[in-house]
Structure 1
Amino acid sequence: MIEQEILKASVKEIPKVLSVFLNTFTEIKEEIKFTFGEGIQTYISLKLNSFSNIKTILHRQLPKYFYDIYQTQAVYCNKLRITIDSHKSLEQFGPYITVIGGPGSGKTTLLRHIFMSSISLGEKIPLYLELRRIDFDKLSLNDIINQTVQENFSTESKRIIKKLLELEKFIILLDGFDELTFSMREKFIYSLNNYREKYPNNFFILTSRPSPVAELIPNFTNIKISNFTLDEAISFIEKQDLEEELLTNLKKDIKEKKWNETEKFLSNPLLLSTFILTYKNNSTLPEKNSEFYERVSNALFSEHDSWHKNGYVRKSHSELSIDSVKFLLNEFAFKNTFKLQYSFDSVTINSDFEQFITNQKFNAQVDKLKEDLTVSYGILTEDSGVYQFIHRSLQDYFAAQKVQKINSLHKTIIYDKIYDLTKRTSGYEIGNFIEFISELDDYYYNKLFMLRVLSEFFTRIDEDFFISSIISIFYSSLNFDDSEHQSITIPSHSYRAIFEFSSIERLISKTLFSFKFKNEPDIKSNSKLSKHTPKDRYVYSINKANYEDFENMISKLFPKLKSELESEVQKLSNLRKTIEEYLEKSLEEERRLLENL
């Protein structure tokens, strides 16, 4: 734990630390160095204030000091579990790290910890970038860092920042690769590779939800956020400022449960927080994520704050009923999920809620509704005019609820839109949304979406070229240059958003990246040279025209791959049969009900 006073003292020491870095820059005027030092101090102070005083799903009203409630996180790499005290804990894995973690695992929290711990160490300058706020169509990573420098430090900073980068004085924290749009990801990766090559020995840490694309970024070591152990879960609970009776009952209940049966819900920081939030009303663990989030939703709207030490009774400012507020949240989450929008400026949030309120003829003011959502219920957070759900998974849940509530006559239209949505994204960013729909609206999900996707998948398999045809469903080309850079192009399809297809995709990606494309003569000779990227690169298309050659080559290189793919495809075939039987049984039950009526 880093004491708040130590952090504040560390910030005050930044100009002294920088002066040591900058003394070698004799060609730069002293006043420019001074201005730069003040700018860095201001930038870090602002970030520190934002990161060190936080609201969480358990502490939605008054900010808490980060380290008062933070449970130290651990990661896995090569079966090695390591607790992260600072960026130094990760140095053994090299200077380029990709942190992989599912929803609510604490990826952003970990980056905030690394940012603040690096300040207290005083050895490197941390820069934190939210990738979703960057338009890589217009700007490179180099542009963004220079822009951050010029906006927050001084207009003369470019020369200094370049020299400091050359001296390896930065930790560059890149948050939310999975939140980049599908079209942005490849541009970001090329930009990242170029920047890393230009300044190779700075420390780069990237976060993402599980994704083959993120996990295959060249030269980056993948580490996975570890689940809490039982002791860590208990430690987390003890830090949450709960009433003594509640704390005692929680700890006793969790210790008495079988950890291997409860780990799914209690070893993830977000889900453990929601379990604490809902515990007073229901101490049992649900079987489905959607049931868990229904409890969370109900808890956020109820008067549960009385079981915090600083209890109070909150007031509704909009004077809307809870059902009306939930309706508005369903509409808002649904609309913006289909736009792949997860943060909202004041104009967007005002316009959307004004439209929904008018359509329903509710008697409410948007400003008062926003106050309810951010203060009374704590469902949205606001930072410098930018609004978000307190966790993105809540937006996914409210959007999925809207799908469930839609009239059956309109289900076909909605599922057509969901199908289109999965095809125009890389899939990963909406996987949670799709999972909630599969639980909340299982009959129509299976009938109108899952069967359609499975049927399409099987029609694309060519039995004569089994391996090639399946690989081409998930990856349309192999891309590589004469260095170590290589990647895979992802075509538009719906499979990536669906959990049941994840194992087959991981098998393929793991196989394809186990060898270097540039070392395979057949691939290189049949590739086209593309000059439309930052580097000249070869592009080998995986399509029907070269199925035969590709099949022969892959079969020789990986003789077990065909049988492994056959096993995965059989699982999908069994799934299709199960869904068909389930739908037929549901139809028979409906017929009997109609006959009885």
Structure 2
Amino acid sequence: MTIEVSAAVLSKALTPMVSKVINGLAARFADRKMKWNAVNSVNNLTSIILNINTVKTMWSRDKGVNLTEFYYPPRLVSKSSGRATQGVEKVVAGRCVIEGIVGQGKSILMRNLCNEILSRGNIPIFIELRMVSSERALTDLILDYLDSSGIKGGKDVLDFLATEGLVTLVLDGFDEVPDNMVTSTIYAIQNYQKKYTDLPIIVSSRPHYDVQRLGGFQNYAIEEFEAHDYEPFMKKLIGDVI
């Protein structure tokens, strides 16, 4: 079950996760003068997750709205078997690419998956791939995220977190990676997959991009709405308007 998205609930959920991370880092880097503050990290991550959950809609262009107020979960269909998923347990625990056309809510789904990841005891690292550039490659963005979270220490700390499976990479919008950065970004994702066997990785993209051809990744497609979806979907939207 997805956790409630509020500062108090997020802080309570994050506290044991961050404590586990900080204790593990302290033991791993005991020979170095590296210190982390669990309280600061919980506060920083709470703010980051709240920000991930705050989006602007066509009905609230001037202010952000918590996505849980209007989120309607889409169905995901395995591209290999053609079967719809039952829940998102396999999605958030493995390596997968989620594809969908414009307007199907890929980014909203990816943001909500961060809540699912938290509810299962992992810390999500949510990266908007449109921010990849020749100055800031994928690994740089991940390190920036950890730094903002108060989990400092650079690549050595990332290596520890990924090796121990304490974090999950949520990489949104591969189709927005600049053309000159596609090859290096694919390489980085593939390298994370090969190097860290316990690191879950979720990528979203429009159809027909190189990321769908990554070996070892399960491909899912967002299924189009059926007739019975429209009423509950509209109720969510009307609630947002009200």
Tell me the TM-score normalized by structure 1: 0.36
Q: Residue 80 in 1 paired to residue 78 in 2?
A: no
CA distance in 1, matches of 2:83, 2:199: 24
The answer as to 2:180 corresponding to 1:186 is no
Letter in 2 for 1:142: T
Q: Which residue of 2 aligns with 1:228?
A: 225
Distance in 2 between the 1:45 and 1:220 partners? 30
Per the alignment, residue 217 of structure 1 pairs with 214
Distance apart, 1:13 and its partner CA: 3.9
Task: In structure 2, list runs of 5 or more residues that go unmatched.
Answer: none
Q: Which has the higher contact order (CA 8 A, sep 6+)?
A: 2
Match of 1:66 in 2: 67
TM-superposed deviation, 1:8: 3.1
Gaps of 5+ in 1: 244-307, 310-597
Secondary structure of the structure 1 residue equivalent to 2:207: coil
Deviation at 1:50, TM superposition (A): 1.7
User: By how many angstroms is 1:96 displaced?
Assistant: 1.5
**1:207 aligns to 2:196 (yes or no):** no
C-alpha spacing 1:152/1:83, structure 2 compared with 1 (3 Å):
same
Counting only pairs closer than 5 Å after superposition, residues 146-545 of structure 1 correspond to structure 2 as: 146-156=143-153, 158-241=155-238, 309=242
Cα separation, 1, equivalents of 2:70 and 2:152: 38
2:84 partner letter: R
Change beyond 3 A, Cα 1:20–1:102: same
Note the C-alpha offset of 1:208.
0.6
Q: How far apart are residue 180 of structure 1 and its match?
A: 1.3
Identity of aligned residues (%): 21
Change (3 A) 1:236 1:33: farther
Preserved CA contact (<8 Å) 2:18 2:42: no
Q: What residue in structure 2 maps to residue 97 of structure 1? A: 96
Kindly provide the CA deviation profile for residues 253-290 of structure 1, in whole angstroms up to 9, marking residues without a partner as x.
xxxxxxxxxxxxxxxxxxxxxxxxxxxxxxxxxxxxxx
Q: Tell me the secondary structure at the aligned position of residue 128 of structure 1.
A: strand
RMSD (CA atoms): 2.8
Give distance in 1, aligned partners of 2:219 and 2:22. Answer: 34
| 3-state secondary structure, aligned to 1:58 | coil
**Which residue identity does 1:133 align to in structure 2?**
M
Amino acid in the other structure paired with 2:102: P
Pair member with larger Rg: 1
Equivalent position of 2:49 in the other structure: 48
Do residues 12 (structure 1) and 9 (structure 2) align? no
Residue 160 of structure 1 and its aligned partner are, at CA, apart by: 3.4
**Whole-angstrom distance in 2 between the partners of 1:10 and 1:204:** 22
Residue 46 of structure 1, CA deviation:
2.4
Residue 141 of structure 1 aligns with which residue? 138
What's the TM-score once normalised by structure 2's chain length? Answer: 0.83
Q: Hey, what's the Cα distance between the residues in 1 that align with 2:21 and 2:129? A: 28
**Paired positions, count:** 237
CA displacement 1:451-470 (0-9 Å, x = unmatched):
xxxxxxxxxxxxxxxxxxxx
CA deviations over 1:66-104 (Å, ceiling 9, x no partner)? 2121111210002111254x4x2426xx72211110001
Distance 1:130 1:145, change over 3 A: same
Contact preservation (8 Å) 2:169, 2:200: yes
Structure showing the higher helix proportion among its residues: 1
Letter in 2 for 1:141: L
Partner of 1:129: 127
8 A contact 1:99–1:224 mirrored in 2: yes
Change over 3 Å in CA distance of 1:150–1:226 after alignment to 2: same
- Whether the aligned pair in 1 keeps the contact of 2:41 and 2:149 (CA below 8 Å) is yes
> How has the CA–CA distance of structure 1 residues 152 and 18 changed in structure 2, closer, same or farther, with 3 Å as cutoff?
closer
Residues 43 and 164 from structure 1, CA distance in 2 versus in 1: closer, same or farther, beyond 3 angstroms? same
Which residue number corresponds to residue 113 of structure 2? 114
